[in-house]
């Protein structure tokens, strides 16, 4: 069997690219772990690897080039229809799991902004007696989410909806969680994903329409309008205390607890008094 020597094959072509496109390379050299993933996906095909490198130098996110993202040890199909799930949101999954563990099932949760479904599908596979409705503003992302749910064999209820507008006559959820758009070009996770990375995503995904916590505050108002007494877990990522205080102020009739499982994973837990 022919096994390509991925390392020397990729090193030669990478050196060729650094020589051919010095300005682009200086702007954003492709890190070794990404090169390894792209080379592996090219499977020894030099033309394909060159295409991958050129797309990456143009700023195309790695997950769109590979056609998948790995989240919590599982592979999910990923393409331009959806936001590329941030690895840090594994802490939101952990927070939901912790919330669920002492409670008796069955439990019913709503994920607002379900995107390609990596969080909800992970939870359905890992938390017994949990049902989830995933709400998504963008029809194309909802379609990809359904494909991922079918691939992983989970019964995820996916609804095209602006917040809870299309909730219909489903019962009130016990928990509402999500990684809704938050922040702006200055509140990034780290240097591996600059603001441009987020501007490559579908327009509804990364940043709120109003302020750095506008989507969180809209969600809280929508929950209040429905009179639901649900717990709420919201990813606030790297947002500073002042922004989180704005969300807490919007949730005026709820208790608030800030979870910080990592410096880049600030998760706000709101619950009824």
Ligand X SMILES: C[S@@+](CC[C@H](N)C(=O)[O-])C[C@H]1O[C@@H](n2cnc3c(N)ncnc32)[C@H](O)[C@@H]1O
Residues that bind ligand X (CB under 6 A): 83, 85, 89, 112-116, 118-119, 135-138, 141, 161-163, 179-181, 204-205, 215
Distance CA 66, CA 77 (A): 9
Distance CA 101, CA 206 (A): 30
Q: Which is nearer to ligand X, 180 or 232 (CB)?
A: 180
Structure tokens belonging to residue 257: 């607890």
Q: Which is nearer to ligand X, 85 or 133 (CB)?
A: 85
φ, ψ for residue 148, nearest 5 deg: -65, -40
Residue whose entry in the numeric block shows the structure tokens 């080039």? 65
Distance CA 231, CA 118 (A): 21
Structure tokens belonging to residue 79: 């393409």
Q: Which is nearer to ligand X, 10 or 161 (CB)?
A: 161
Q: Which is nearer to ligand X, 53 or 251 (CB)?
A: 251
As measured in angstroms, the least distance from the Cβ of 271 to ligand X is 21
Residue nearest to ligand X (CB): 113
Residue whose entry in the numeric block shows the structure tokens 């300005």? 23
As measured in angstroms, the least distance from the Cβ of 220 to ligand X is 12
Contacts of 262 (CB under 8 A, 6+ apart): 88, 91
As measured in angstroms, the least distance from the Cβ of 173 to ligand X is 14
**Cα separation values, 48 from 3, 65, 67, 85, Å:** 16, 11, 14, 25
Distance CA 199, CA 56 (A): 14
As measured in angstroms, the least distance from the Cβ of 253 to ligand X is 22
Distance CA 125, CA 111 (A): 15
Q: Give the count of alpha carbons within 13 A of 228, CB side only.
A: 24
Q: Which is nearer to ligand X, 129 or 162 (CB)?
A: 162
As measured in angstroms, the least distance from the Cβ of 26 to ligand X is 30
As measured in angstroms, the least distance from the Cβ of 244 to ligand X is 17
As measured in angstroms, the least distance from the Cβ of 155 to ligand X is 18
Nearest-5° angle of CA 174, CA 259, CA 83?
A: 75
Q: Which is nearer to ligand X, 35 or 120 (CB)?
A: 120
Q: Which is nearer to ligand X, 14 or 89 (CB)?
A: 89
């Amino acid at each position: 069997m022919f096994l390509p020597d991925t390392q020397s094959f990729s090193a030669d072509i990478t050196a060729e690219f650094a020589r051919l496109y010095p300005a682009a390379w200086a702007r954003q050299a492709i890190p070794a772990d990404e090169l390894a993933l792209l080379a592996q996906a090219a499977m020894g095909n030099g033309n394909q690897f060159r295409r991958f490198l050129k797309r990456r130098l143009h700023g195309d996110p790695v997950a769109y080039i590979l056609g998948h993202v790995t989240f919590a040890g599982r592979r999910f199909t990923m393409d331009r229809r959806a936001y590329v799930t941030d690895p840090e949101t594994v802490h939101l999954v952990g927070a939901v799991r912790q919330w669920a563990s002492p409670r008796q099932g069955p439990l019913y949760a709503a994920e607002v902004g379900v995107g390609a479904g990596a969080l909800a599908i992970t939870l359905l596979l890992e938390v017994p007696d949990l049902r989830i409705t995933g709400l998504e503003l963008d029809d194309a992302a909802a379609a990809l989410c359904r494909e991922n749910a079918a691939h992983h064999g989970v019964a995820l209820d996916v609804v095209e909806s602006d917040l809870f507008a299309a909730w219909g006559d489903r019962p009130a959820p016990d928990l509402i969680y999500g990684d809704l758009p938050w922040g702006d070009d200055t509140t990034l996770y780290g240097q591996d994903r600059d603001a441009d990375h987020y501007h490559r995503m579908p327009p509804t995904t990364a940043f709120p329409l109003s302020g750095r916590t506008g989507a969180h505050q809209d969600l809280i108002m929508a929950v209040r309008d429905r009179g639901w007494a649900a717990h709420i877990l919201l990813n606030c990522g790297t947002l500073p205390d002042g922004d989180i205080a704005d969300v807490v102020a919007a949730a005026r009739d709820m208790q608030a607890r800030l979870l910080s499982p990592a410096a880049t994973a600030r998760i706000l837990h709101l619950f009824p008094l």
